[in-house]
Amino acid sequence: MTTIDASVATTIRLITNGQAPGETCTPELDKGPWQFDPTPGYGPGSSMHDVIPTGSPRQGALPEQYQVASNDELHARIRAAKETLGDRLVILGHFYQRDEVVQHADFLGDSFQLANAALTKPDAEYIVFCGVHFMAETADILARDEQKVILPNLAAGCSMADMADIDSVQAAWDELLSVYGAEPDAEGRAPIIPVTYMNSSAALKAFCGANGGIVCTSSNAKTVLEWAFERGQRVLFFPDQHLGRNTAKAMGVPLEQMPMWNPRRPLGGSTREGLLDAKVILWHGFCSVHKRFTVGQIDAARAQYPDVRVVVHPECPMEVVDAADEAGSTDYIRRAVAGATEPTTFAIGTEVNMVNRLAAEYPQHTIFCLDPVICPCSTMYRIHPGYLAWVLEELVAGRVVNEIVVDAGVQADAKLALERMLAAKPRD
Ligand code: SF4
């Protein structure tokens, strides 16, 4: 994995537009995330105003020695623990993770790349996932039974994943089946197929597995929707409305046939006729990081750099995706930058840690985040070198802390939904 130079490892206060320092969305970002462990919220960053569900995992107090240690000391302790654990350990780092953590990762990637990367280390006893909760769950579903998956801070959830819970989705499903019935049409297609974005709990992946459904990522959402439409007349897509809408719209599904399901209203806020006409029923979830991007920011980037290439993530709102030059997954964005052969100006609509890392890795290009205010993913922010040092030193001492274990009752069905995704092939 590329090691990040310490001189660029400032995470929050890096340049945002290639020239000028940006402001942060909250001064609380300067504090250690352990300050927020006892508080019932996502912590500082883009999701801090979202409502965290009751019962979300809380992180216990981080031992003080890890709170007061300097970053240099923490890095030295992490390196020493890694060396001691050797091949028994693999550390995974998500693209949106801060550089101070990512520099210790054996693999850097998106959630599914990382879950698969863990499979390339079948002998590793410990998989330390520097990402968020649903990613660690996915790694546990795919890992061997003997492997232990560890999330350095249990409060690193995902506000989008938390917007769809199994009870609400089950209730929606029951209501939808009361409208559609359970019988297939003349072509053998089910009335409705559930599709969950990777950014969802293991329980929802299992729900899809058990109900003829499938998982998708932002890289393969179109292929997965094609798979679903071959088997069903319509789709219930959760939790991210924007990925569902942007993907289905690009496939030619009219917006009028994509009602949004509000779990607090009868029939999700639609009419029976509207649901019968629907092709994609969108859950009302969103990512607070990608919701920050606006058409106004794109206009400002184009005014400043007329030849700018605007590349955004499909979790952005539809009007932002429509106004951009390109939209694609984190891996698509990374490949777009890596593949540019001439010096290019990129305005990128995704999480700021990834944008800043690209800017540092590709100095021949001008790369900046579309949002001039620096506001990282608040849940990724909860992983800090202090937590990484803590979980690793506990492993060295023979203690496993913060293990993520997916219930055996949901594991098989969740794996089935993931395997369907892996088997789905693009039409062209
Ligand atoms: S960037 Fe958005 S979708 Fe990704 S982990 Fe953070 S809140 Fe969840």
Residue 341 Cα to ligand 1 midpoint, Å, equals 30
User: Annotation-wise, does 220 bind a ligand?
Assistant: no
How many angstroms separate the CA atoms of 102 and 380, rounded? 11
User: Annotation-wise, does 294 bind a ligand?
Assistant: no
Residue 290 Cα to ligand 1 midpoint, Å, equals 8
Residues 6 or more apart whose Cβ sits within 8 Å of residue 54: none
| pLDDT, tens only, 350-390 | 999 999 999 999 999 999 999 999 999 999 999 999 999 99
Do 8 and 14 form a contact (C-beta atoms < 8 A)?
A: yes
User: Annotation-wise, does 316 bind a ligand?
Assistant: no
The answer, yes or no, to whether residue 114 has pLDDT greater than 60, is yes
Kindly report whether the peptide bond that precedes residue 372 is cis, defined as omega within 30 degrees of 0: no
Residue 188 Cα to ligand 1 midpoint, Å, equals 37
Do 218 and 329 form a contact (C-beta atoms < 8 A)?
A: yes
The per-residue pLDDT for 112 is: 83
DSSP character for 324? S
Best CATH choice for the domain 31-159+380-397 from the list 3.40.50.300, 2.60.120.380, 3.40.50.9100, 3.40.50.10800: 3.40.50.10800
How many angstroms separate the CA atoms of 371 and 348, rounded? 9
Do 163 and 46 form a contact (C-beta atoms < 8 A)?
A: no
Ligand 1 atom closest to residue 131's alpha carbon, by position in its atom list: 5
| pLDDT, tens only, 149-182 | 999 999 999 999 999 999 999 999 999 999 999 9
User: Annotation-wise, does 377 bind a ligand?
Assistant: yes
Residue 133 Cα to ligand 1 midpoint, Å, equals 11
The per-residue pLDDT for 62 is: 97
Residue 60 Cα to ligand 1 midpoint, Å, equals 22
The answer, yes or no, to whether residue 3 has pLDDT greater than 90, is no
Architecture of domain 290-374: 3-Layer(aba) Sandwich (3.40)
Protein residues whose CB sits closer than 6 Å to any atom of ligand 1: 47, 96, 132, 158-160, 199, 287-289, 351, 377, 379-380
Residues 6 or more apart whose Cβ sits within 8 Å of residue 299: 323
User: Annotation-wise, does 11 bind a ligand?
Assistant: no
The answer, yes or no, to whether residue 18 has pLDDT greater than 50, is no
| pLDDT, tens only, 213-234 | 999 999 999 999 999 999 999 9
Across the chain, which distance is largest between two alpha carbons, in Å?
67
SS3 310: strand
User: Annotation-wise, does 330 bind a ligand?
Assistant: yes
| pLDDT, tens only, 293-326 | 999 999 999 999 999 999 999 999 999 999 999 9
| pLDDT, tens only, 42-93 | 999 999 999 999 889 999 999 999 999 999 999 999 999 999 999 999 999 9
Residue 62 — left, alpha, or beta (φ > 0 → left; ψ -120 to 50 → alpha)? beta
b/e sequence 403-415, b meaning 16+ C-beta within 10 Å: ebebeeebbebbb
The per-residue pLDDT for 20 is: 42
How many angstroms separate the CA atoms of 18 and 389, rounded? 32
The answer, yes or no, to whether residue 400 has pLDDT greater than 50, is yes
Ligand 1 atom closest to residue 287's alpha carbon, by position in its atom list: 2
Q: pLDDT band at residue 2, thresholds of 50, 70 and 90?
A: very low
Residue 198 Cα to ligand 1 midpoint, Å, equals 11
How many angstroms separate the CA atoms of 248 and 226, rounded? 10
How many angstroms separate the CA atoms of 358 and 356, rounded? 5
- Measuring from atom 6 of ligand 1, which residue has the nearest CA? 377
Candidate from 153, 158, 348 with most ligand 1 atoms within 8 A of CB, to mutate: 158
Residues 6 or more apart whose Cβ sits within 8 Å of residue 211: 173, 193, 194
Ligand 1 atom closest to residue 199's alpha carbon, by position in its atom list: 3
User: Annotation-wise, does 158 bind a ligand?
Assistant: yes
Q: pLDDT band at residue 428, thresholds of 50, 70 and 90?
A: low
Ligand 1 atom closest to residue 47's alpha carbon, by position in its atom list: 7
Residue 196 Cα to ligand 1 midpoint, Å, equals 15
The answer, yes or no, to whether residue 392 has pLDDT greater than 90, is yes
* DSSP codes of every residue in 162-218: GGS-HHHHHHHHHHHHHHH-S---TT--BS-EEEEESSS-HHHHHHHHHTT-EEE-T
